[in-house]
Amino acid sequence: MNTILYSVSFLFSFSLCAQQQFTNNGAVNLNSGTRITFFGDFINNGSITDLGQMVSFAGTGPQNIAGNAATTFNNLTIANTGSGITLSGFTNLTVANTLTLTSGIIITSTNIVVLSSSVASSLVYTSGFIYGTFRRYIASNTSTYLYPLGDGTASTNRHQITFVNNALNAGISYLDATVLDFVQSVNNTDVNLSTTQQLSPIVHTAGEQVGHSTIWTLTPDAYTYVGGNYGVQLFVENTTLSAANDNMFCPLKRTLPSTSYAGFLTYDAVTAISPAGSAGRTFSAGTGYAQRTGYTSFSQHTIGFANGVGELPIELIDFDAKPDGNNVDLFWTTASESNSDYFRVQRSPDGTDFTDLDQQNAAGNSSIIIKYTAVDYNPYKEISYYRLKQVDNDGKFKYSNPVSVNFQNEKTISVYPNPASGTFYVCIFGMSGQKISILVRNGNGQEYYARIVTVMEDREVIEIDPLNKLAAGVYFVEAVSDNKRYEKKIVIQ
């Protein structure tokens, strides 16, 4: 055992003997160019100043990083070929510059592995994972940040997630990430799923075995949304998914606290998934992932999938409505169809009660892009809501998410669905190019949600997904721009 009692500086490269414990009870200074490889335990009860080239842990058996002092390395390589490296005794293990995971598992226990560089490439990954909490600092950029996580120490417990940044500007310094293979119970079961992707119901979640769900949690240190968005890549390895589920799976997200799988939603109306047959929709011999982009809020993510083999019954690219003189033009596009009978366009004055407007025959079976159109010759005087009902040859049907048109083209807002049971949407009309403050308050003026957005279109839909689920009651949604306030009431069930 090597023990440092006072102060020592290392100016060169060396390796400690296999299985030998290194204890620091004084002060260790690793100067530029220093390389140290630990094959045994590292106990830090003193201070470390690491300016060195690389510190490595390369034991062939279990290793420990312990002690009563926090430990920060400049560059750290994990190349353990045994049963992993366990953190204990201190607060966190911090890497200031580059973390290289070559092999082995870091078991954090109650501690955290922190990579404080916000450069996405500061994680160099080959194999292994972090069993516990992994904190990565991020910047407002368009980089992808990999989190190689696990929920146990077996190789089959690895579940990776990638944070796909799209210039997210929300005051975030870092994201903590964890993963859990959750055993479904009570309200947190697949039977409570109530969401669709491209009109197809999502009826299952993927886990390490049937009845389990692999759930990733991303937690920011702070969140005040200004602009941009993000996506996720949820890796399919070590789940019940297979190539038979290609194009049938996609990410789901819910906010916390949530007490039911009914909170897991696709957010299909305001996010995007990859095209069928491409990366983000295919199993790829276990190396694939489920991808979704366009998120503006956080919490838990899982992979959901629909019944059947092959393509979703209908892959809807878009459904939209735009004013045209005294009429409203409606149009939708499908990338593929299977067993489809007809489409029915429905209209509503409030986003809740819909009536039939038009019906058109579907293609039946198609693998090419098909465009459809319809016209509303008598829209409502103020705001009209529209949705698409797709009916299959077997009589089953599915609905699209609603869209809305402010026929008077005045500056105003609408909210839908209303009543809502969770996430809802604010549609902003006639304020293109303006910065809008969106607030959600109760009748006493207590603020539950605040966000600033820059509106890019004459009609822009904003997802309202509070970090904490709103209790049932009446709330008021406000949009403030140029000292003008627009308000709508919404009921949360």
Which of the two residues, 400 and 345, has the higher pLDDT score?
345
Q: What is the pLDDT of residue 18?
A: 40
Which of the two residues, 234 and 400, has the higher pLDDT score?
234
Q: Which residue has the tokens 């190396």?
A: 287
Q: What is the pLDDT of residue 51?
A: 79
Q: What is the pLDDT of residue 466?
A: 66
CA 118, 119, 120, 121 dihedral sign is negative
Query: What is the rounded radius of gyration, in angstroms, for the C-alpha atoms of the chain?
Result: 26
* Cβ neighbours of residue 10 closer than 8 Å, sequence gap 6 or more: 28, 29, 30, 31, 34, 36, 52
Q: Which amino acid is at 269?
A: A
Q: What is the pLDDT of residue 304?
A: 96
Q: What is the C-alpha separation between 212 and 226, in angstroms, rounded? A: 36
How much is the mean pLDDT over the chain? 86
What is the spatial order of strands in the sheet that 327-337 belongs to?
314-324, 327-337, 370-376
Question: Which structure tokens are listed for 280?
Answer: 């983000």
Q: What is the C-alpha separation between 93 and 64, in angstroms, rounded? A: 12
CA-to-CA dists, residue 279 to 15, 156, 234, angstroms = 42, 22, 12
SS3 of 149, please?
strand
Which of the two residues, 9 and 294, has the higher pLDDT score?
294
Across residues 115-120, what is the average pLDDT? 97
314-406 shares its CATH topology with 412-492: yes
Among 111, 145, 99, 104, smallest CA distance to 127 is for 104
- Which of these ranges, 34-43, 85-94, 137-146, 441-450, has the smallest mean pLDDT? 441-450
Percent of the chain with pLDDT over 70: 92
Q: What is the pLDDT of residue 309?
A: 35
Q: What is the pLDDT of residue 189?
A: 93
Q: Are strands 435-442 and 447-454 parallel, antiparallel or unpaired?
A: antiparallel
Residue 458 clears pLDDT 80, i.e. is over it: no
Which of the two residues, 11 and 356, has the higher pLDDT score?
356
Q: What is the pLDDT of residue 122?
A: 97
- Backbone torsions φ then ψ of 287, nearest 5 degrees: -100, 0
Percent of the chain with pLDDT over 90: 46
pLDDT tens per residue across span 281-340: 999 999 999 999 999 988 899 999 987 533 446 778 889 888 877 788 999 998 888 778
Q: Which amino acid is at 201?
A: P
Q: What is the pLDDT of residue 467?
A: 55
pLDDT tens per residue across span 165-176: 999 988 899 999
CA-to-CA dists, residue 326 to 320, 322, 329, 355, 377, angstroms = 17, 11, 10, 20, 7
CA-to-CA dists, residue 452 to 169, 296, 394, angstroms = 11, 12, 46
Q: Which residue has the tokens 């910065």?
A: 435
SS3 of 138, please?
coil
SS3 of 99, please?
strand
Instruction: Supply the DSSP symbol for 307.
Output: S
pTM check: above 0.85: no
Across residues 442-457, what is the average pLDDT? 80
Band (pLDDT 50/70/90 cuts) for residue 17 is very low
Band (pLDDT 50/70/90 cuts) for residue 154 is very high
Which of the two residues, 433 and 236, has the higher pLDDT score?
236
pLDDT tens per residue across span 365-409: 887 889 999 999 888 877 888 999 888 877 777 788 788 887 665
CATH (residue range 314-406):
2.60.40.10
Q: What is the pLDDT of residue 12?
A: 54
Under CATH, which architecture does the 412-492 domain have?
A: Sandwich (2.60)
SS3 of 220, please?
strand
Q: What is the pLDDT of residue 8?
A: 56
Residue 114 clears pLDDT 60, i.e. is over it: yes
151, 136 in Cβ contact below 8 A? no
Q: Are strands 299-305 and 204-205 parallel, antiparallel or unpaired?
A: antiparallel
* Cβ neighbours of residue 32 closer than 8 Å, sequence gap 6 or more: 51, 52, 53
pLDDT tens per residue across span 258-282: 889 999 999 988 899 988 888 999 9
Among 284, 300, 208, smallest CA distance to 245 is for 284
pLDDT tens per residue across span 53-107: 889 999 999 999 999 888 999 999 999 999 999 998 877 899 999 999 999 999 9
Question: In this structure, how many other beta carbons lie within 10 angstroms of the beta carbon of residue 468?
Answer: 12
Across residues 25-51, what is the average pLDDT? 86
Q: Which amino acid is at 430?
A: G
Question: In this structure, how many other beta carbons lie within 10 angstroms of the beta carbon of residue 356?
Answer: 10
Extents of the domains making up the chain = 2-305, 314-406, 412-492
- Backbone torsions φ then ψ of 381, nearest 5 degrees: -65, -30
Question: In this structure, how many other beta carbons lie within 10 angstroms of the beta carbon of residue 298?
Answer: 20
